[in-house]
Structure 1
């Protein structure tokens, strides 16, 4: 049992995923199964093999927790997990292909027109602080590449400029704008973004800055 518990945590990027402690620290597999069954809303303990899989595989555990309100999917995960694509349930998102310099410059031009029409509306300071804190913990934040468009941006925002790999935005600039949205869903609650704001499908929005 202890060996399984030692493997209940892993990292997806910089985000830690784990089972509730009353399951992961249960003194026996049977007790862990009973507690997992309660968490999943079952009328009985979770199957022992599914419980052990959840202890050993944090993505499977996350998928189980996500499927709690989807009985058919949950049952399939418990009895035939190999037939279910757990990636969406576990909150794993595919990274879009990197944008070309031309695409990024076009987005920047659209941003200029949009900002000129509506004016720059900054988010509240506490909102900016919360957003930037979330970005700093997110696996999608990375160093701005050494390309012409980002070299110019570094002159404005500083040499330590970071971008979001999901949208190619400069994170400290994007986080400061009231109209902006984080494109990545929160791993624990897909109705929220990583900024802990209501998630919006940014692909369906009109030409907001940097998109």
Structure 2
């Protein structure tokens, strides 16, 4: 419509490279998709790339990531080559688990969750690294939704998080997750410290 054309004109006038995504292709029949794509190409002319995706089905996302990688300029080096991050291993493990929570749950749950790594046990290269983690939510109803029927949701989150840990570290992992209710943790400084959201962890 006219609103879309106005927005796209402003985007083009900005001079900033942009990537155009046509989402929800899983909901459109092939013949209708072709018509929609033709209009989309015309509307988003000038984009560095035009990609049809389904965010829900994760279709086309690899192409999107590759385009973004190709377009991003190389930034200055702030750390030595062998330093990948300034955050602790526990922080990275917790964020990886939280990313799976966000991916597989919808609506209000992701914004009320935090992940705490309770312990990491490593007993030699031949044995799996054992990670115990706790996912904090604010209400009992959120706990039930996160665990899912028969524990299916929590199992899905845990399995996908474990598989990514193994891919990143090229090691076997055993991941044990539990869900705990921490009422209003986002407004409680003590709980924020306990969950690792402040620099002062004492």
Greater relative contact order (CA < 8 Å, ≥ 6 in sequence): 1
What TM-score does the superposition give when structure 2 sets the normalisation length? 0.29
What TM-score does the superposition give when structure 1 sets the normalisation length? 0.28
